[in-house]
Amino acid sequence: MISPAPPLPPELSLTRLASFCAETTFKPDEALISLIGMALIDTVGCFLSGANQQVSIMAQKAFSDLGPATAPVFGTTIRTEPSKAALLNAVAGHAVEFDDWEMVGNTHPSNVLFASILAAAGDRPVSGKAVMDAYLAGFEVIARLGEAINFEHYDQGWHATGTLGAIGAAASISRLWGLNAEQTANALSIATSRAIALTSQFGSDTKPLQAGFAAETGIVAARLAAQGLTGQPDILDAPKGFFALTGHRDTARHAAAMEKLGTMPALEEHGLVFKLYPSCGYSHRLIDCAVELFNGGTVNPDDIEKITLHLPTLHAAVVPFIQPENRPQALFSLPFCVSVALTSGDVMLADFDSERWRDPAIRALIGKTEIVPFKPQRPELNYAPQDPDRLDVLLGDGTTHTATVVYPKGSPPNPASEQRLIEKFKQNAALGSRLQEPEMTEALGRLLTWPSADDVIGCLIAFHK
């Protein structure tokens, strides 16, 4: 699949990552190429659907007048300076919580990586192979860092999309621009100093902004490193470095993650979770449970006396809102998402656009909901068969209906069909594009074959208003 990079000093994680990114020859098989293509399609849809959200519009007003205007902000008429285009596209891509994520680093990788890659490629010719290699390099860095320090990192309150994502984006742009191993190491080190994002910001506009900052950092750090600016090569491993300050001090685990470089690609090993609902990923297993009960036809919302939600403590901490008062809070409200699914059999963008959290029937169900976090048996795993989410619905006649889910629909062990993801893309693209269905279908076909295209950006301009 890939040709291993040369042996590297085991004590410097950053040096090993940089050499891997700069010197590895990537040889993905057809399945991996297809996965990257679908990730691109899904992410572009998220760019388009999120471009008209309030947080995106306000951010666009703040940064749209910067130059040189070489990079597009998808779903708008705006072109701006590449690092700001990366920021704005990533904000849009994360605004409605519909972008893919990966389970080992707990990040939304494709949104951050593609936002930075496409912006950085906007002012120069770029091949599909170069974009694919840049994505693989960035994903490798994100996943191996995730193996090294999560879930302690996330549990301490670090928003991994903004932290690990920033370092991964720097790896992607360094690869895209052909930086050598020394320059790439400096880019990763510089990015580490900008890699700050907090889960305490969830439920506010700053949550998607943190994804934007990570994408912006990828371009800024690589640009600085290309000019010769330096960073400490031991910034990850030092006694007061990134691993020690934001994770744990298990050096054996750090080393084990780095030893995987040059073996199976991290993307092949861990895969991607494609979201089927526009809400926090930690609401999806319980939404799946609610959809199962709705489709079973045994639960009438009018008869519900109590709703009990069981999920691991780490997950529960990420979704703290009960009765949401706005869209950012609703995205992180388990009671809201489950109540909608129990009454509709789905959770869709329209539920947030119409502010269904104000619906008296939904608010009543939220008021009947109890959240019961439990200590997981396998805390080192995001999802485990021993730790499923469980939904209990007590009806007025005293009967209880229960559903459990281990892996959410759209995850590698429980995948969604390609057709379902294409339909998701079309729905998202329709929100941010003036394209008619035939034009959309043609452009989509081009995206599906993008790895062989000479100019990836050309496939995307069709979706640029």
3-state secondary structure 185-249: HHHHHHHHHHCCCEHHHCCCCHHHHHHHHHHHHHHHHHHHHHCCCCCCCCCCCCCCCHHHHHCCC
Tens of pLDDT, residues 223-276: 999 999 999 999 999 999 999 999 998 999 999 999 999 999 999 999 999 999
Is a pLDDT exceeding 50 seen at residue 453? no
Helix ranges (DSSP H) in 128-159: 128-149, 152-155
- How many Å separate Cα 36 from the centre of its chain? 14
> What is residue 432's predicted lDDT score, i.e. its pLDDT?
65
| DSSP β-ladder status, 304-312 and 369-374 | parallel
Q: Which of 220, 399, 198 is nearest to 305 (CA)?
A: 399
**Closest to 391 measured CA to CA, from 465, 285, 302, 315:** 285
Residue 67 vs residue 410, higher pLDDT: 410
**The pLDDT of residue 386 is above 90:** yes
CATH code of domain 281-405: 3.30.1330.120
Per residue in 52-104, pLDDT (tens digit) is: 999 999 999 998 666 667 788 888 888 889 999 999 999 999 999 999 999 99
Q: What is the pLDDT of residue 307?
A: 98
pLDDT of residue 452: 43
pLDDT on residue 427: 86
CB-based contacts of 172, cutoff 8 Å, min separation 6: 113, 116, 117, 134, 135, 137, 138, 218
Q: What is the pLDDT confidence band of residue 9, given thresholds at 50, 70 and 90? A: very low
352 versus 41: the higher-pLDDT residue is 352
Stretch among 88-92, 120-124, 280-284, 414-418 having the lowest mean pLDDT: 120-124
Kindly indicate the confidence band of residue 457, based on its pLDDT and cuts at 50, 70 and 90. low
Q: What is the mean pLDDT of residues 391-395?
A: 98
Q: Which pLDDT value is given to residue 431? A: 73
Going from the C-alpha of 171 to that of each of 183, 264, 340, 344, 426, the distances in angstroms are 10, 18, 40, 42, 30
* Element of type H or E holding 113: helix 109-120
Name every residue whose Cβ is closer than 8 Å to that of residue 346 and which is 6 or more positions away in sequence: 277, 291, 340
Residue 1 has pLDDT above 80, yes or no: no
Q: Exposure of 155 by Cβ count < 10 A (0-12 exposed, 13-18 middle, 19+ buried)?
A: middle
pLDDT of residue 410: 97
**Chain centroid offset of residue 51 CA:** 16
pLDDT at residue 64, as a whole number: 66
What DSSP assignment string belongs to 437-451? Answer: HHHHHHHHHHHHTGG
The pair phi, psi for residue 205, each rounded to 5°, is: -65, -25
What digits encode the pLDDT tens for the residues 138-181?
Answer: 999 999 999 999 999 999 999 999 999 999 999 999 999 999 99
The answer on pLDDT for 421 being more than 70 is yes
- Please provide the average confidence, as pLDDT, over all residues in the chain: 90
Q: What DSSP string describes 426-437? A: HHHHHHH----H
Fold of 2-270: 2-methylcitrate dehydratase PrpD (1.10.4100)
DSSP string, 246-294: HS---HHHHHHHHHTTTSS-HHHHH--B--SSSS-GGGHHHHHHHHHHH
At 127 the pLDDT is 76
262 backbone φψ class: left, alpha, beta (φ>0; ψ -120 to 50): left
Separation CA 294–CA 427 (nearest Å): 23
pLDDT in tens, 313-358: 999 999 999 999 999 999 999 999 999 999 999 999 999 999 999 9
Rounded to 5 degrees, what are φ and ψ at 354? -90, 0
Domain boundaries in the chain? 2-270, 281-405
Write down the pLDDT at residue 344.
96
Instruction: Summarize pLDDT for 98-131 with one digit per residue, the tens.
Output: 999 999 999 999 999 999 999 998 767 777 788 8
- Report the pLDDT value the prediction gives residue 465, as an integer from 0 to 100: 45
Q: Would you state the pLDDT for residue 72? A: 84
Q: What percent of the chain has pLDDT over 70?
A: 89
SS3 295: helix
Give the C-alpha distances (Å, rounded to integers) separating 430 from 48, 73, 182. Answer: 8, 16, 44
Q: Is 60 exceeded by the pLDDT of residue 7?
A: no
Calculate mean pLDDT across residues 295-308. 96
Mean pLDDT of 35-45: 90
Distance in angstroms (rounded) separating the CA atoms of residues 156 and 159? 9
Question: What pLDDT is recorded for position 454?
Answer: 41
Question: Phi and psi dihedrals of 294, rounded to 5?
Answer: -65, -45
The reported pLDDT for the residue numbered 8 is 39
What is residue 22's predicted lDDT score, i.e. its pLDDT? 98
Average pLDDT over every residue of 431-448: 59
pLDDT at 290: 98
Which one, of 35, 115, 102, lies nearest residue 75 by Cα? 115
Place of tokens 């109540």: 339
Please confirm whether the linkage preceding 208 is cis (ω < 30° from 0).
no
Say what the pLDDT of residue 115 is: 96
Compute how many other C-beta atoms are within 10 angstroms of the C-beta atom of residue 301: 16
Question: pLDDT confidence of 5, banded at 50, 70, 90?
Answer: very low
Please give the single-letter amino acid code of residue 53: Q
% residues pLDDT > 90 (the chain)? 77
